[in-house]
Amino acid sequence: MKFFVDTGDIAEIKDLASTGLLDGVTTNPTLIAQSGKNFLKLIAEICEVVQGPVSAEVAATDYATMLKEGQKLAKIAKNVAVKVPLTPDGLKVCKALSDNGTQVNVTLCFSAAQALLAAKAGATFISPFVGRLDDVGQDGMLLIKEIMDIYTAYPKTIKTEVLVASIRHPIHLIAAAKMGAHVATIPPKVIRQLYAHPLTDKGLAAFVSDWQKTGQTILDAA
């Protein structure tokens, strides 16, 4: 599974990229607003840090303007994935951009039917929002299973990757990985939660304590 980080914080992106665990970045208007930075300059900066896909979302909702915005975003860097909403006009833009070799991330997916439409339109990625479905009393992970079942039934014709979005905790991530989802876009906080386990902390504390008792140092040893 590929790990994308879902943030517009360039410091967070640089820190996580240094671990070698980061395969891409997703942003959205909310994250851009939180960053307080110029949108186009921020996307260009992120693309210099991360070699993988960087999702940049259009702001318009009509076909003509979305297409122009998408074309402008695609020119920022080769690894930009233009993000469009799962609407009739959004899918038209997806088709036009993908036919010209631009990566497209179709966002705000909440049903398997929508995911099938995005694949037919040539989407590079489909972004189903599991956490938001959980918030309204539905099973977000069931949607991932339904999409994976459909996509894997047509391996020769469907090349769209399932990019699990709105991940709230590590359980979402592990469940998605077990289903074979291609990508997860994860908030920085949740990525750091993946490291944590009380037995790791306890074991490390014991090792450090026992090493100190030896009175030795590795760097100063002959």
Phi/psi of residue 54, nearest 5 degrees: -120, 110
Among residues 121, 83, 127, 76, the alpha carbon closest in space to that of 103 is found at 83
Q: What is the pTM of this model?
A: 0.94
Buried b (16+ CB within 10 A) or exposed e, 167-196: bbeeebbebbeebebbbbbbbbebbeeeee
Residues 95-142: tens digit of each pLDDT: 999 999 999 999 999 999 999 999 999 999 999 999 999 999 999 999
Instruction: Assign 52 to helix, strand or coil.
Output: coil
**Is 189 annotated in the active site?**
no
Phi/psi-derived region of residue 161, left when phi > 0, alpha when psi is between -120 and 50, beta in every other case: beta
Task: Please give the CATH number for the structural domain made up of 2-196.
Answer: 3.20.20.70
Residues 11-36: tens digit of each pLDDT: 999 999 999 999 999 999 999 999 99
Residue tagged active-site, from 2, 75, 83, 178: 83
* Residue 95: both structure tokens together: 């088709």
